[in-house]
Amino acid sequence: MTMSRFVFSMTFSQSRSLGLLACLAVLLLNAGCATNPVTGKRELRFVSEGREVAIGQAHYLHQQQAQGGPYLTQPAVNAYVQSIGAKLVEVSDRKQLPFEFVVLNNSVPNAWALPGGKIAINRGLLTELKSEAELAAVIGHEIVHVAARHGAKSMERGGMLQAGLMGLGLAVDDHDYRDYILLGANVSTMLVTMKYGRGAELEADEYGIKYIVAAGYDPHAAVELQQTFLRLANDNSPGWVDGLLASHPPSKERIVKNAESAQSYPRGGFRGESEYRNMMAPLLAATPAYDALEKGYVALNKKDHAGALSFVSQGLAVEPGEAHLYGLKAKALSAKGNTRQSVAALDKAIELNNQYFEFFLLRGKFKKNLGDLSGAKRDLERSTSMMPTASAHLELGLMARADGKSADAIEHFRMASQSETADGVQAFQSLAQLDMPSNPGRYLDTQIRVNKRGMVVVGVANKTPVDVAECSISVYSPTQRRWLPYRFRGGIPKGTVQYAQTPIGPYADNQVAQQQVRIRFDRVTPRGR
């Protein structure tokens, strides 16, 4: 168990049983039979429509940020995708939902939907499609996943079995676990990488075709789309295996079923091949720039900083408006020690795209190194508003501590410490040093047991990565009706347990002693405080 996990297990254990019961209660109280709006079948429902919408809204921005942020370089591409999405929503079975569509700046061919109508399509998928009808087939498929409650039903199954992650994050309003979800994006990732079952995929295909036909598109585009996906899956095409094919696996069965569905509709319908080519022409022309971006990151990871900067120049020559190229430039320059030039590169990145957290995160850290603390604080706070990260909260915590704002520092360190990264571990060390004197029970375990003579032995366990320099406790004696003081003179080194023999007893067994004897912390001072 890592130290950051230890903090989580300590806080979680205090209300684990209550939390699980609360989750089950919420599920059961909100359960009821309902008709599926797409299939017309009766089903048991635990997640209300309002909850679906809330889940989508809570995780949509974070997932966008985690996957490259919105694609802003060619605004017309976003507008085009949104227009196709709007057409399909109008013929869907749940058009009252607050649907949103976004193109992400990510080369992996993928598309995903969150409950409540939040849908994303990666730039890398758009370059692989051949017509507007194929795009409509992709969007229609995702809309069905939302309309038919496939994501919500997967959550319900998990909740019924173990009152799981989503229940704890959203139902138990006073539990710190929500912060862990925000930092780790566990639930967000689960929702968008979910591999739907065979039935859900076939259902999304069948009703997706119904939607595209109602919107005026050729239903056979859905068949051609699946044929392409199956070929790419069989070829193990780079990017596809980790993208759309992983969460929406194609199969011959899906092709056959799609063909059967398409044949049940009149032939014809809009295909929009030339329209799609014209709309995607700038994006396709920029492909070499994104190839250079990927090669630049490979070079950067190999510490070939000059090579990374060379790829940046190649990319900018093709697509001068791509902010991520300036982001790569900033990282390469920083690795070479050119912090001021890195800030200038990030200034340009943010000028082109002020909707991506990493640009603000990096610029904030660099400004802090240059002594611009007010500018650093603004940038770091802006980054956390888009995507809470351990890195930003650690930096903000360190700055707050230096300013003597202990309460703010503790909150930032607490947020950051939920991550199992190096930043998270460092944040937890700083958190323990600041917070342990006031709240030692959050960091130190107490133990009560009896020895062979039945006398009480008390112990204090330090499972944190911080040495305790001084620890004083009092043990309540039920027979004497008073508190007996004890001091661990050598402190409690990290990872150790220190024991003290008491005159309390005798007791027949540990259980009786644990029921009657109490321990309180009087003074705890971590080393380095």
Q: What is the pLDDT of residues 249-281, one digit of tens each?
A: 778 888 898 999 999 998 889 999 999 999 999
Q: Are 191 and 114 in contact (CB under 8 A)?
A: yes
**Can you name the CATH fold of 441-526?**
Immunoglobulin-like (2.60.40)
Longest Cα–Cα distance of the chain, Å, equals 92
pLDDT, residue 95, reads 94
Q: Give percent above pLDDT 90 in the chain.
A: 66
Mean pLDDT, rounded, for 515-527: 96
pLDDT, residue 455, reads 96
Does the pLDDT at position 209 exceed 70?
Answer: yes
Range in 159-173, 277-291, 404-418 with the lowest mean pLDDT = 159-173
Cα–Cα distance between 324 and 358 in angstroms, integer?
10
Q: Give percent above pLDDT 70 in the chain.
A: 84
Mean pLDDT, rounded, for 416-428: 89
CB-based contacts of 17-24 (< 8 A; 24+ apart in sequence): 19/168, 19/172, 19/175, 19/177, 20/163, 20/168, 22/171, 22/172, 23/159, 23/163, 23/164, 23/167, 23/168, 23/171, 23/172, 24/163, 24/167
More confident residue, 140 or 230: 140
More confident residue, 47 or 433: 433
Alpha helices in 15-48 (DSSP H): 16-29
Strands, E assignment, 15-78: 32-35, 42-45
Return the SS3 of 42. strand
pLDDT, residue 189, reads 53
pTM: 0.84
Cα–Cα distance between 102 and 100 in angstroms, integer?
7
Mean pLDDT, rounded, for 45-60: 85
Mean pLDDT, rounded, for 166-176: 30
CATH of domain 286-372: 1.25.40.10
pLDDT, residue 250, reads 75
In angstroms, the first-to-last Cα distance of the chain is 25
Which residues belong to CATH 2.60.40 in the chain?
Answer: 441-526
**Secondary structure (DSSP) of 106-162:** --S--EEEETTTEEEEEHHHHTT--SHHHHHHHHHHHHHHHHTTHHHHHHHHHHHHH
pLDDT, tens digit (0-9, with 9 covering 90-100), for 79-113? 999 999 999 999 999 999 999 999 999 998 889 99
Which residues belong to CATH 1.25.40.10 in the chain?
Answer: 286-372
Cα–Cα distance between 65 and 168 in angstroms, integer?
23
